[in-house]
Amino acid sequence: MFEKILVATDGSEHGNRAAKVGIELGKISKGTVTAIYVADTNRTSHLPDDMLLFSIRELLLKEGKEAIKQVEKLAKDAGVNFGSNVAEGNPGSEIISYAEKTGMDIIIIGSVDAQALISSSLVVWPRK
């Protein structure tokens, strides 16, 4: 089944829903859930490299660590093996790249579309 489950999180309600689905899947399959948070540093790449940019980057990374902690607590409470990764760059590209590099079986992402019409959906992408 799914032994290596990647859950993308941003600390939002939708990210937490994805985490809960991933953890439930990990519990059923006795797999490992890995939470990934990607600080979207592409949005700041056009700004001058100064202390303000450094502060924004640090704030994004801190936010990521907090989001990861939320998922870690859920996994621990459920008795599911857990791993994590905080990355920087384009979230979509980094999530796919990490999944491919680490041989993840499935990626679970909480989703919100541009008009928030499908805000409660989950995107589940099986690797195989």
Q: What percent of the chain has pLDDT over 90?
A: 56
Question: Would you say the pTM of this structure is higher than 0.75?
Answer: yes
pLDDT at 44 (0 to 100): 61
What residues contact residue 104 under an 8 Å CB cut-off, 6+ apart? 4, 5, 6, 34, 98, 127
Q: pLDDT-based confidence at 85, cuts 50/70/90?
A: very high
Q: Tens digit of pLDDT for each residue in 106-126? A: 999 887 554 444 444 455 666
Buried/exposed code over 37-74 (b: 16+ C-beta within 10 A; e: otherwise): bbbebeebeeeeeeeeeeeeeeebbeebeebbeebbeb
Percent share of the chain, pLDDT over 70 = 77
